[in-house]
Structure 1
Amino acid sequence: MRAGVLSKDAIVEFLNEHFINTWVPNSELGRVRRLREPIAKKREREGDPFDTTHPLAQTIIKGQKAGSKKGSPVDSYIISPDFELMGKKQVRELEVNAGPGVLSPMASYQIFLKDALAGKEPGLGNIVLTRDHPSEEVLDVVRTPTVGYLDYTVVVIDVTSFENGGTLTIDIKIGRAGGDGEFYLFDEDGELSIDEEEPKDALTGTWGEPGDTLQMTHRFDRGQVFRLGASGYWDEGEMCTNAFQARISVESVEKPESM
């Protein structure tokens, strides 16, 4: 955990009172790179090893790398009795003081718990859109493929609550670092092929250069699950990594009133 976060008594009190069952310092699991060597020496000196091979520790380590939102100093995980990661939420998303029209921390966390228990895997790369929450933003990266034409960063988009369908819009902003970006939308069963320059199962797609703003739209007639596949361009001549930000939203179709 970052000292700056844990030095705020209100945050610590808030988490301990409402949410936290077990504190596991990030440093113990090797998340803080600069502390890995000092902690290893400390363990050796004090004879107090921390077993990072334990299934619980491995699940938390997996959670640190999961999802589109990475890097939070404090994460909350839902883990099953079989050590399966069911959901992840950043503590910074739980505002201590909710304002008018904003869900309270307890209500927000309750939705998180319900989504996890319903198998929606909140925070693990899945975007769950509803009529009450019709848009969400993700920030991730694209990389130059080392094998094949595409190396996908995948965002799962769940729009099953829109039973009558709607229009899915994805607004993309590519970072200004080196490397072009390619973006393809697939349905749940579509093959994310790496052997085709333009995957045949893609419903729609677009590409752009650093700094470009792009948009993809797709009309669907029933609630379903999509996958957004983002990749760097294969013929860059060198390895490149670039960021992208995507705002994913749905405009619903109203069910016609019966006569």
Structure 2
Amino acid sequence: MGLGAAVTFVGVFVLGPVLAVPATAALSWPIRRFRGVPGRLASTNARRNPRRTAGAAVALTIGVSLVGFIAAFAASAKVSIADSIDRNFSGDLVLTSGAFGPEAGFSPGLASGIADVDGVASVAEVRLGTAALDGVGVSYSAVEPVAATEVFDIGVVDGDVTALGTDGLAVHDDLAAEQGWAVGDRIDVTFPRTGVVPLHLVATYERQEIAGTAVVSLATHEANTAAQLDLQAVVRYADGA
């Protein structure tokens, strides 16, 4: 694909001035015939300066190529993310606020109400916050560990996410490798409201598209963050519901 695009570009750039006049004459006859004087003027103008016409064609070729590349890349990324979610997500229903950020979301009371409905096995709340891990700024997800592991597979590399408790932290394995962190290490986490809070690394994971850069428990989030809004609530139905 890359070689074909390069050959096309070189062909348009090198042969454009040579082919501009005959190509314009052949392709512009409907314009000359049906658009009258303006059509004839446009055709004549395009043939008057072949290099200028070829230059415009080159620019158009580059533009179309870029649009095609971006469209293909976006489609590929969308399919990849959707496939990852399909393979690593086992919830039956997702409620979302439609917004994104620590200050966006809906009341946790909604999740509590849904959990009391007959036929609902569990509801996993997901909240969002920001903090600094040993000085490294991150956005983190806050979850109830057991409920979250029932609907999300974040690809645990080491440790146990269900051990988050009130003083645990899980991070993406790339960040752990960059910072030299290992399970069991103490990490000083700076929250905007409470300042520095020591947490211990209980797990590392590989699927950042599912969990983000870091994960703490809802209990830790509630103790250190003022805003308590659910970004998502993932519902899992009981068997036979």
Same structural fold, with TM-score higher than 0.5 when normalized by the shorter chain: no
Of Structure 1 and Structure 2, the greater strand share is in: 1
Q: Using CA pairs under 8 Å that are at least 6 residues apart, name the structure with larger relative contact order, 1 or 2.
A: 2
Between Structure 1 and Structure 2, whose CA radius of gyration is higher? 2
Of Structure 1 and Structure 2, the greater helix share is in: 2
